[in-house]
Copies of this chain bind each other. A is one copy, B any other.
Amino acid sequence: MSTSEVDIRPLRADALRNRARVLDAARELMGARGVDVGMEEIARAAGVGVGTVYRHFPNKEALISALAEDRFERIAALLREALDDPDPWHGFETMMRRGAELQVADRALTEVMRNHGNAMEAAATKYEVPELTERLVKRCKAAGVLRDDVHHGDIPMVLCGVGTATCSAAGRLAGEDGWKRYLEYVLEGMRAE
């Protein structure tokens, strides 16, 4: 038994820089084209070798998770803002719009919410997204602005659906800003009355 589980020691300057470059490149590429961009391509875009990518992230899934955490942190922030809004519906609506923008801007986020249950749940839990969502939904129902049958799990489901719409072949049939209309339909439909 040594002093601690993990060996804490500051990263060398170049390592720190490269780690950031890899994350940036991955965010850029995966955001635009989804998670199945190749590791080689990410490395090239980051200006490093594949080996370096793997020194920082044991495997592709870990890289994806790191990116996901970023996003879920932002989502948590959106939820807190919504809870702080004096007008429950305005808060909810704003959160949904920003959330949808996040999805639309980042194809990888949608794919993670669709196909990577583990990475998603880990990231969401870490930033208390489930609790925050539940609180927001309860608050809106209590204020009578949200349909009573809305389940808090519907929020990620719906956002994932809207995100999907954007990059899907079917979504292309609806044109460039089809997702905006989609979001309107859903918001209108979730609203009480």
Contact residues in B for A184 (Cβ distance below 8 Å): 149, 189
Which of A9-17, A80-88, A171-179 has 4 or more CB atoms under 8 Å from chain B? A171-179
In terms of DSSP, what is the predominant structure of the interface of chain A?
helix
In the complex, which residues of chain B have a beta carbon less than 8 angstroms from the beta carbon of A157? 165, 168, 170-171, 173-174, 178, 182
20 contacts between A and B (CB under 8 A): A113-B168, A114-B170, A117-B172, A120-B169, A120-B170, A153-B174, A153-B175, A153-B178, A156-B174, A157-B173, A158-B185, A160-B170, A161-B162, A164-B164, A164-B168, A182-B186, A184-B189, A185-B189, A186-B186, A187-B189
> How many interface residues does A have (CB within 8 Å)?
41
Closest 8 CB pairs of A and B: A185-B189, A117-B169, A161-B161, A189-B189, A153-B173, A188-B189, A153-B174, A160-B170
Number of copies: 2
Contacts A160-B171, A173-B157 given; indicate if A181 touches B114 (C-beta within 8 A): no
Interface set of A (CB-CB < 8 Å, partner B)? 112-117, 120-121, 147, 149-151, 153-154, 156-162, 164-165, 168-175, 178, 181-182, 184-190
